[in-house]
Structure 1
Amino acid sequence: MKNKTIDYVLRATWQAVARMYNEEASKYDATMSLAFALLSIDREGTSSTLLGPNMGMEATSLTRTLKKMEEHGLITREKNPNDGRGVIIKLTPLGIEKRELSKEKVKRFNEKVLSSVSEEKLKHFFEVTDIVNTLVSNKSIFEED
């Protein structure tokens, strides 16, 4: 344990989870990013300008993901009625179907973890991740003392 740093454990765990989701998504000719995008799009549609920040995704990656989703018939792009320059991303019936499938996979992951971890340990996990996120958000990790 003394050789494992916090950032190493976070990174290794996230990579394992991402690999697991990508393996599962590949069974449906998809990726984790695509599934995450499906889950991030509201049933009524989501502004493309909100989608990137909500997903924590760079514009170029988001553009590539949306293009692939459009090619697969999962989404449509419509002009934003409130802002002529903007675009609303909407799920197609196939997109809604795949969104529900993605939702089930995420629920299953959560149920499996919840059944394997005590409520107290999970509470501590969320407390620690909240602290890490706050430290990072406040840019207090590398600031001068």
Structure 2
Amino acid sequence: MKDKTIDYILRATWQAVSRMYNEEAAKYGATMSTGFALLSMDKEKGTPSTSLGPKMGMEATSLTRTLKSMEDKGLIERKKNPDDGRGVLIYLTNEGKDKRAVSRENVMQFNAAIKKNIPEDKLQNFMEVAEIINELIQNKSIFNQTEKAENETHN
């Protein structure tokens, strides 16, 4: 791994995690996206459909497909928002709550395995590095830095 770039390591690791979760979810007729959506929804109060995309980091078209599939499988139901007639709340069905519990257990099992095999200080370093990478990306500090430097040179 010494000669690999940071983005390669991140991508390869995420693909391995994604594949692992999808393989596990397939045993229950689901996908990782379905599990993630179930975990992102309020178990009792319903969740506004508009808040799910940002919460999950998913594009609207992908989220729409995921929600349609979940509705077809009887995991969720959509109801008009009583506080805002234009909006829709998504509620978990009993089947959805059961699948949510399975998803939660899988996430907990993954986290327990990682914590068992990686010392706390290394895990803390990983979390800090990931947070910094996310901040740099959110602040557009990676590619825009070059543009700022060029603009300052030309002024």
Q: Give structure 2 stretches of 5+ with no counterpart.
A: 150-155
Determine the C-alpha separation between the residues in 2 that align with 1:2 and 1:39.
35
**How do 1:14-29 and structure 2 match up within 5 A?**
14-29=14-29
Cα distance, 1:3 vs structure 2? 2.0
Give the % identical residues: 64
Query: Secondary structure of 1:42's partner?
Result: coil
Larger Rg over CA atoms: 2
Coordinate RMSD, CA, aligned: 0.8
Partner of 1:94: 95
| Runs of 5+ unmatched residues, structure 1 | none
* TM-score normalised according to structure 1 size: 0.98
Counterpart of 2:153? none
The Cα of 1:2 is off from its aligned counterpart by 4.0
User: Structure 1 segments of 4 or more deviating over 4 A?
Assistant: none
Shift of residue 22, structure 1, vs aligned partner: 0.3
Aligned equivalents of 1:85, 1:6: Cα separation in 2: 44
Q: Size of the alignment, in residue pairs? A: 145
TM-score, length of structure 2 as denominator length: 0.92
Report the residue type matching 2:100 in the other structure.
R
Q: Does 2:122 match 1:121?
A: yes
Does 1:7 pair with 2:7?
Answer: yes
User: What's the offset of the Cα at 1:45?
Assistant: 0.9
CA–CA distance in structure 2, aligned partners of residues 135 and 114 of structure 1:
26
Q: Distance in 2 between matches of 1:79 and 1:105?
A: 32
Whole-angstrom CA distance in 1 between matches of 2:46 and 2:12: 34
Deviations 1:38-63 (A, max 9, x none): 00011121000001110001111111
CA–CA distance in structure 2, aligned partners of residues 24 and 78 of structure 1: 30
Alignment of 1:75-86 (within 5 A): 75-86=76-87
